[in-house]
Amino acid sequence: MLKSQLLAQLLKLLASGLLLISFAMLSRRRTQRLITLFAWQGAILFLSTSLVAWDAGLTELWYSAALTLLLKVMALPWILHRLIQKLGAQWDSEPLVNIPVTMLVGLVLVIFAFGLAQPISMMATTITRHTIGIALAVILLAFLMMITRRKAITQVIGFLAMENGLFFAATSATYGMPMVIELGIALDLLVAVFILGIFFFQIREQFDSLDLHHLESLREE
């Protein structure tokens, strides 16, 4: 009993860490720092998934945790790191909306997410049910980051952070998705990063910049 309560508290702590990192990502402008934050997010995800796996005694969740560690803490940050080295894109330009306003919008989103998560938490029976709101908030904040940034690489990090939120939501609500789906998503992520990496080079080749507003000229008139 004590153990499970302690675990629940620990999980809540980790979840709040996740939320904090999401806000930090919203406020950062250096790409390098964003990647580090993303790796930290992955690490927290790995810890929380392992805890849930230990508590529920589910082998499949152990696999998911291992996958998270390999993919999100090691492989993807490393690939992204290499990418920005090659592209020389250490700095994002000024975001479309300035950072304080973004943070305020983020706050509203968190409240919205918590409000939404209330009925789901009532229904769920998992140890992590109170963290569903946070998971939802992480998804929305990552989405917000994608909207407000200009550079292609920041958007990809936002996309990956969003997937982290989804993964967290899945573990909190139902102890994770079926293994087949999880493997599929992991593969999709990896492929997406590779393809986007290729796109980055193409975009830079074409426009001499990674700034996405150049893409507006592609629109068919």
Query: Is 30 strand, coil or helix?
Result: strand
Give the list of residues 6+ apart from residue 21 with CB closer than 8 angstroms, or none: 37, 40, 41, 44
User: Which stretch, 51-59, 85-93, 114-122, 187-195, contacts other proteins (CB under 8 A)?
Assistant: 114-122
For residue 100, give both structure tokens: 């304080």
- Nearest approach, Cβ of residue 207 and other proteins (Å): 13
- Phi then psi for residue 211, to 5 deg, are -70, 130
Binding flag, residue 219, other proteins (CB under 8 A): yes
The reply on whether position 218 binds other proteins by CB under 8 A is yes
CB neighbours (10 Å) of residue 79? 14
Given the complex with other proteins, which of 75 and 105 has the nearer CB atom?
105
Sole window of 10-18, 112-120, 163-171, 201-209 interacting with other proteins (rule: CB under 8 A): 112-120
Do 127 and 55 meet the contact criterion of CB atoms below 8 Å apart? Answer: yes
Q: How far is the CB of 184 from other proteins (least distance, A)?
A: 13
Is 108 a binder of other proteins (CB under 8 A)? Answer: no
Residues ≥6 apart with Cβ < 8 Å to 121: 129, 130, 132, 133
* Whole-angstrom distance, CA of residue 123 vs CA of residue 119: 7
Task: Provide the token pair at 212.
Answer: 């996405």
Residue 63 found at the interface with other proteins (CB under 8 A): no
Residue 155 binds other proteins, judged by CB under 8 A = yes
Q: Note whether 116 binds other proteins by CB under 8 A.
A: yes
Find the part of the chain contacting other proteins (CB under 8 A) among 20-28, 44-52, 140-148, 184-192. 140-148
Q: Which residue has the tokens 């304080």?
A: 100
123 part of the interface to other proteins, by CB under 8 A: no
Q: Say whether residue 212 binds other proteins (CB under 8 A).
A: yes
List all residues 6 or more positions away from 58 whose beta carbon is below 8 Å from its beta carbon: 52, 175, 176
Applying CB under 8 A, among 57, 88, 100, 119 the residue interacting with other proteins is 119
Note the residues at the interface with other proteins (CB under 8 A): 96, 112, 116, 119-120, 136, 140, 143-144, 146-150, 155, 212-213, 215-220
